Amino acid sequence: MHQKMKRFKDKICLVTGGGSGIGKSTALSFATEGGKVVVCDINGEKAQETKNEILNNGGDAIAITLDISDHEAVQKAVQQTVETYGRLDCAANIAGVAGPVSKKIHEYPIDSWHQQINVNLTGTWYCMKYELEQMLVNGGGNIVNLSSAAGLLAQPENSPYAASKHGIVGLTRTAAKEYATDNIRANAICPTAIETPMIMEGRRKLAHDKKAKREAIEFQAMKRMGRPQEIADVILWLCSDQSSFITGVAMVADGGALA
């Protein structure tokens, strides 16, 4: 295996949803490239597992149990980051939830609507609010938000998810404009079907529904699902100096699905 360059040497990198899926791959990748990682997840045990994996590989990390829909908890997580490491350079806001059911708008349960908006959209806004506050103190930073292909086009029978992910794109673009002269960049990534616990065991239960999994695969031009690491690689690139003239994009990572 070739030696990766350490693009994040001594950078402080906060990752929400770091206990599994895309978030875990992103946290591990930051650490591999020299970053000091703050692993946040609503599942504290999973956050600890990711942290331990980083420490066992010679990296530096802390774990925080975090519900991003609680603004005080988000503020404390950023404070703990600064108390531990002194600053915040990169934030990958990956935590999110999918709905439990597939229903048209007029049939959609109100509680599920509120949960997805509260976590995916309001929670991402809370993260950005406190991350940006600290990055202004730092004199710069990079934020990448996890949107979705459902943030760019319709997703029938999944209205709150589509609305929340569209909202994340709007938030990201607005932040990019507001902080463009503060040495802060904000970008979003919009994947299609990635092999994560959320899609395999969540609303669509692709691990158990062969027809649904086949449909997800057929949607991709490459005729396969994406891997969490493939999304992590794009997130790291967007957080690195290699993308220094890019801000406000909603970048698709979709195996050619939207082409």
Residue with tokens 């220094």: 244
- E strand or H helix at 64, and its extent? strand 60-65
Distance, in Å, from the CA atom of 87 to the CA atom of 78, rounded to the nearest integer, reads 9
Separation CA 24–CA 167 (nearest Å):
24
Question: Which residues, including other chains, have CB under 8 Å from residue 141's CB and lie 6 or more apart?
Answer: 88, 89, 90, 91, 131, 132, 134, 135, 183, 184, 185
Active site residues: 161
Beta-carbon count within 10 A of 248 CB:
16
Which structure tokens are listed for 166?
Answer: 């569209």
Residues paired with residue 100 on neighbouring β-strands, in sequence order: none
